[in-house]
Structure 1
Amino acid sequence: MLVLCSSALRSLELIKSMTAFKGDCRVIKLFAKHIKIKEQMNMLEKGMFHIGVGTPGRVKALVEQDALCLNATKYMILDWNWRDQKLRRMMDIPEIKKETIDLLEKSIIKLCRDGSVKLGLF
């Protein structure tokens, strides 16, 4: 499962709230704040993760560099309705909107059409 959020702080918030129910699932942080892309590439190469939580920009960059393969992804969740301090949703922020649409167009929509990925809005 892949969860896309508007910011690294929101991603961390969701990861913390998952601890109650994730059990043995392995979660990976997929955002740029304090984590270099090379570190994430190494982590993705070394292990399997059940849940990825991050920002569209970092996920898109990892997909473009072939570090993150979406073929095994079953669900993609967009953190659609959450609002930041300025009451902006994910698609109200121009940079996030562009990166999200790019990621959807280049990678996700094809997988959804094939039936291998289900897209959800949260």
Structure 2
Amino acid sequence: MATTEVKPSAVKNPKRNRRPSHGPKKDLKKKSKKTKKSKAPTFDKTIEKSIRNDQKTENEDDEQLYSEPVSASEQLSYFLNQLESAIGIKVSSLELEPIKDTCIVELSQRLDQDVSNLGEHIKLSCGSSWRETLCEGETLERNVEPGNPSVLVISSSALRSLELLRGLHSLTKHCPAVKLFSKHLKVEEQVSLLKKRVNIGSGTPNRIKKLIDIEALGLSRLDMIVVDMHPDVKGFSLFTLPQVRDEFWDLYKNCFHQRVLEGRLRICMYGPKPAPNLKKKKKN
């Protein structure tokens, strides 16, 4: 019986031609998942991020600056030097005579001078009667003229003003506060807010001056101005940012200086202050 020759190529190799088994066929299309819409970052979170980045940069330096406690007389001397430099006129000895160290608020050395501690610093500077000083008229509102705060916090920007107000939360939950800057706030809105009892204001020099000029913001109860000394992410502060610096000294000269001379107003410089005893500390 004749046999036909079968070519090797014609024989199907079951192992070669078998498709590998990968289990059940997967759907290549990506399943759409319901995801929650992420909220836009708030002003506070944006500020925190920028401050963290700034602090990280400072920590990377080979040398760090730190200062020993700065006395009231050193702070006063520094403040007056800045005033003379800004207005271009030397303050006479006759003018300087009534200005005492007591016009400078000496802050507690036990607490850092950061945003979170601002409310506690102000409480301590007012002593045990802080509630009466800062929240006067809480129960008898008619005894307090509207729009006359006890404390004004002055900073270089709207965002910084918001941040400082957050640091004052321990006070503002008892004492009404008002925003005194121009970003997103019209003068008319602030005039309306200042028709009510206000104990704390936080804002920028230009808007504060404008509200004083139109007699919406009063100074009859003003006990303390808090001057924010902290630099921003670019290294500028209230005393070094050109336009804001001029606006601050214009505000101080026209609205606050006489009250300081008369002993009716205290100055709190909050944050790092240059002083002769500044030292350098090398990183280990």
TM-score by length of 2: 0.41
Superposition pairs for residues 84-103 of structure 1, below 5 Å?
84-103=232-251
Give the one of 183, 188, 192 matched to 1:38. Answer: 188
Shift of 1:40: 0.4
SS in 2 for 1:11: helix
Structure 2 residue 54 is the aligned partner of structure 1 residue 54: no
SS in 2 for 1:3: strand
Verify the 8 A CA contact 2:175 2:198 in the aligned structure 1.
yes
47-56 or 22-31, which deviates more? 22-31
SS in 1 for 2:198: coil
Superposition pairs for residues 22-33 of structure 1, below 5 Å?
22-33=172-183
Q: Partner amino acid for 1:6? A: S
Deviations for 1:53-86, whole angstroms, at most 9, x for unmatched residues? 0000100111111111112101111002x11110
Q: Which runs of 5+ in 2 are unaligned?
A: 1-150, 271-284
Deviations for 1:10-33, whole angstroms, at most 9, x for unmatched residues? 000111122134441111000001
Q: Partner amino acid for 1:61? A: K
Shift of 1:42: 1.3
SS in 1 for 2:174: coil
Q: Which has the higher strand share?
A: 1
Larger RCO (CA within 8 A; separation ≥ 6)? 1
Shift of 1:88: 0.8
Alignment length (residue pairs): 120
User: Could you tell me which residue of structure 1 aligns to residue 64 of structure 2?
Assistant: none
User: Could you tell me which residue of structure 2 aligns to residue 5 of structure 1?
Assistant: 155
- Which stretches of structure 1, 4 residues or more, deviate above 6 A after TM superposition? none
RMSD of Structure 2 on Structure 1 (CA): 1.1
Q: Partner amino acid for 1:58? A: R
Shift of 1:113: 1.2
User: Could you tell me which residue of structure 2 aligns to residue 74 of structure 1?
Assistant: 223
Instruction: Pick the structure with greater CA Rg.
Output: 2
CA distance in 2 between partners of 1:40 and 1:21 (Å): 20
User: Could you tell me which residue of structure 1 aligns to residue 109 of structure 2?
Assistant: none
Verify the 8 A CA contact 2:172 2:200 in the aligned structure 1.
no
Shift of 1:94: 0.9
CA distance in 2 between partners of 1:65 and 1:86 (Å): 33
Give the one of 87, 98, 110 matched to 2:258. Answer: 110
CA distance in 2 between partners of 1:4 and 1:44 (Å): 17
Q: Partner amino acid for 2:215? A: D
